[in-house]
Amino acid sequence: MTTVETADKEIFARRESEARSYCRNFDTVFTSAEGSTMTDADGRTYIDFLAGCSSLNYGHNDPDMKAALLDHIAGNGIAHGLDMYTDSKAAFLKAFEELVLWPRGMDHKVMMTGPTGTNAVEAAIKLARKVTGRKNVISFTNGFHGMTLGSLALTGNHGKRAGAGGVSLNDVTRMPFEGALGDDVDTLQIIESMLANSSSGIEPPAAFILELVQGEGGLNAASPEWVQGIARLAEAHGALLIVDDIQAGLGRTGSFFSFDNFGIVPDMVTMAKSLSGFGLPFAALLIKPEHDIWKPAEHNGTFRGNTHAFVTARIALEKFWADDRFRHQIALKSQVLEERLLGIAARIPGATIKGRGMMRGVDVGSGELAGEICAEAFRNGLIIETSGAEDEVVKVLAPLTTPMEQFKEGLDILESAVDTILPLKVAAE
């Protein structure tokens, strides 16, 4: 049996690809995690305000999900089943139907894609093109939809797109997101005018794809009115509306879907990250029945549907979404977060808060300052990252289940980091 000294980081530098990223900012070896606390090899604990980039909305190692998964494994439950019928898949689909779809009047089919968010996005745009017979997809400035080539074509970030090695990232038209051109510019009117102009050079779109809160693009949050306008444009131009809810969904913005109470019903919804509830790879695409025109195996993958994730996802739905208690808890924490971030922003000249619900942050004006604040926070026991085109937003993605006392402790650390770093920056300038 191969043995490795737990705290030995040399193996990572020697053997792991240079593509690694988060570990460069959080330079320690983690060994265990529970709830909103992570522990490293030296026994030091950290409050987690990253949550697997919103893959752990219910925290690390939820005891009920863990118990169900261990029982499933101990009972020789199916570990891998391709897309065959299994009891765990049936139980998940029934729970999803009863707790998520039916209460919202939704009749969407659930397509099991490959296990990551980008697989769901690839399936969505592929199906939209098949349904409409068109190639062009409209995405938005600062949007992020994944790292495979189709999803990357939809993504605006220059650094991410550069990783494609120079191949064409085409059949996409980029439009300005709400507020992208300043608060006094109506981007919806611009989009409407360009699509109405037969000489604009824009091909009729197969779909519009958008995040209601742009997770990697700087926590830009769209208003209900703007989103409803995009939905009307999609319908008027015979295009499908795809909501990418991979990071903003599953309670992150306050309710199960980021579009709840927005007055829209998307044609498709991409889901991943916290869908499993336990941090297991699991992605799915919700499709209105009239658009579910796939032929058998026309879009497939060896790992479509993670059977272990079916087990934990069902428990997550039954535990957190059977009534309104969890939603009310999120609302309370969201209010605390907004108040505290407003206080932090007031300390920094020109800073503003961004986002919605428990997907909030402070735009501090520069990636350098945001990075230094996050580094100081980590030195003091808080894991937190940045967002935005220039990494200028300090972004809070704490598990939604974080106990209030611990949540406030994490915000205290963040506030202290700002108070430490800001005078140093001012003195240096």
pLDDT tens profile 267-311: 999 999 999 999 999 999 999 999 999 999 999 999 998 999 999
The Cα 287–Cα 123 span in angstroms is 10
* Residue range 381-400, pLDDT digits in tens: 999 999 999 999 999 999 99
The Cα 302–Cα 218 span in angstroms is 34
The Cα 341–Cα 339 span in angstroms is 6
* pTM for the full predicted model: 0.96
- The answer to whether residue 180 scores a pLDDT higher than 90 is yes
CA-derived radius of gyration, the chain: 22
pLDDT band at 425 (very low <50, low <70, confident <90, very high): low
Contacts of 32 (CB under 8 A, 6+ apart): 38, 39
In this prediction, residue 165 carries a pLDDT of 85
Q: Which uninterrupted H or E stretch holds 383? A: strand 382-383
Domain covering 78-320: architecture: 3-Layer(aba) Sandwich (3.40)
Average pLDDT over residues 28-43: 97
Average pLDDT over residues 196-209: 95
108: phi then psi, degrees, rounded to nearest 5: -65, 145
Average pLDDT over residues 117-126: 98
* Residue range 212-250, pLDDT digits in tens: 999 999 999 999 999 999 999 999 999 999 999 999 999
Contact 125, 112 (CB under 8 A): no
* Residue range 339-351, pLDDT digits in tens: 999 999 999 999 9
10-27+37-62+325-428: in CATH 3.20.20.10: no
Out of 4-18, 107-121, 290-304, 338-352, pick the least confident: 4-18
The Cα 283–Cα 257 span in angstroms is 15
Question: Boundaries of CATH 3.40.640.10 in the chain?
Answer: 78-320
Q: What's the whole-number average pLDDT of the chain? A: 95
In this prediction, residue 284 carries a pLDDT of 98
Average pLDDT over residues 38-48: 97
- Higher pLDDT, residue 386 or 161: 386
pLDDT band at 164 (very low <50, low <70, confident <90, very high): confident
User: Which ranges in 149-293 belong to alpha helices (H)?
Assistant: 149-154, 158-162, 187-196, 224-236
Question: Boundaries of CATH 3.90.1150.10 in the chain?
Answer: 10-27+37-62+325-428
Out of 56-70, 208-222, 414-428, pick the least confident: 414-428
pLDDT-above-70 percentage for the chain: 97
pLDDT-above-90 percentage for the chain: 92
pLDDT band at 1 (very low <50, low <70, confident <90, very high): very low
